[in-house]
Structure 1
Amino acid sequence: MPVAMWDFDHCDPKRCSGKKLARFGLIQDLRVGQRFRGVVVTPQGTQPVSPSDRPVIEEFGVAVVECSWARLEEVPFSKLRSPHDRLLPYLVATNPVNYGKPWKLNCVEALAAAFYITGFDSYAEALLNKFSWGHSFWTVNKAFILQYRTCDTADDVTKMQQKIIAELEADYDNRKNEPGWFS
């Protein structure tokens, strides 16, 4: 299955998950302006990845934009062409740089998330297994991913994400009122 990235060299090559996948021959580099026909996980997407993306991913694969979260304004998103730009729904990073931060996934986590949500677990695991911390992505996000898998469309995933966030906020509010809570 095709796995690709547009790499903008923002990251430390020793810590960059996209570059590590490239060293293993698990990801193809794309040139700016080069079209990718599969799903592209990008912060410029207008709808989230959903199980309905499975046929596109099965035929054309998944790509990511390898860049720093701190330097998004430098990325020429308009030149990264795909008919299937997608966001990721609420998930929590488990990589060493952004551990515990929602929505701050690195490239391998973004790819794995798209594969997991669309039911291609073996592809997600093959990528994550190249990282010592990779197993923790499923452990931390399993409950969320399983809920997203029950959805049919991107709208359903958006509604599920809203439900998940509301539940997390309610849980937080309840816990901060417990004795011994430290703020």
Structure 2
Amino acid sequence: MKLYIYHLHQDDPKKCTAIKLYKFKLVRLVKNPKLIPKFSIVLNPYASKILIPLDKKLIEDNGLIAIDCSWNKIHEAFKKHFKGINKRLPFLLAANPVNYGKLGKLSSAEALASALYIVNYKKEAEKILSLFKWGETFLTLNKNPLEDYSKAKCEEEILKLEKEYFGEISLTNNI
């Protein structure tokens, strides 16, 4: 399985989870958005489609990519459309020190790990999170939603679960 990061160099490199994943050879860096694999799943917080467990085959065949940018510049980063199949993650709480407890404001490591967990690559998700002091906290904070999301059969089930766990909120208002 191929994991990619399109890195926009907007954050402090010492705190950047994407760089750490790259240093541990868990992801490949994509330096040009034109090189994003055509049928890869691109994690995009503004996408209308939601990642579901049935996306596992697409990820296995084509890869998974996170766009690493500053949350302060997120609107600018996602103005352009990224090649690939853009999907958002279901609602989860961040555990990283910068955005702890904030809905949806995940680091690149949290985003990739969440996606892997949801498509039932749980060991791989845990491996990513094990590199960070707060990785176990992320799994603890999101244990029930992640487990339930990983059992969902369709987007409608995910939407229902989001409402059960987090109520009627819009992620776009939160980011």
User: What TM-score do you get using the length of structure 1 for normalisation?
Assistant: 0.85
2:121 aligns with: 120
Query: 5 Å matches for 1:62-141?
Result: 62-75=64-77, 77-82=79-84, 84-141=85-142
Cα distance change of structure 1 residues 23 and 77 upon mapping to structure 2, 3 Å threshold: farther
- SS state of the match for residue 114, structure 2? helix
> Residue type matched to 2:62 in 1?
F
RMSD: 1.8
Identity across matched positions, percent: 32
| Distance in 1 of aligned mates of 2:62 and 2:96 | 27
> Residue type matched to 2:34 in 1?
G
Query: 5 Å matches for 1:8-47?
Result: 8-30=8-30, 31-36=32-37, 37-47=39-49
Unaligned runs of 5+ in 2: 169-175
Q: Which has the larger radius of gyration?
A: 1
Q: In terms of mean alpha carbon deviation, does 71-80 or 126-135 score higher?
A: 71-80
2:158 aligns with: 157
- SS state of the match for residue 34, structure 2? coil
The offset of 1:79, in angstroms, is 4.9
| Distance in 2 of aligned mates of 1:119 and 1:139 | 17
Question: Over residues 27-73 of structure 1, what are the superposed CA-to-partner deviations in whole Å (9 max), with x where a residue is unaligned?
Answer: 11111222322211112311111111111112222110000111023
User: What TM-score do you get using the length of structure 2 for normalisation?
Assistant: 0.88
| Distance in 1 of aligned mates of 2:134 and 2:150 | 23
> Residue type matched to 2:125 in 1?
A
Cα distance change of structure 1 residues 109 and 76 upon mapping to structure 2, 3 Å threshold: closer
Count of aligned pairs between the two proteins: 167
- C-alpha contact (below 8 Å) 1:113/1:124 kept by paired residues: yes
| Distance in 1 of aligned mates of 2:2 and 2:79 | 21
Question: Over residues 95-129 of structure 1, what are the superposed CA-to-partner deviations in whole Å (9 max), with x where a residue is unaligned?
Answer: 11111111110000000000011100011011111
Query: 5 Å matches for 1:43-54?
Result: 43-54=45-56
The offset of 1:86, in angstroms, is 0.8
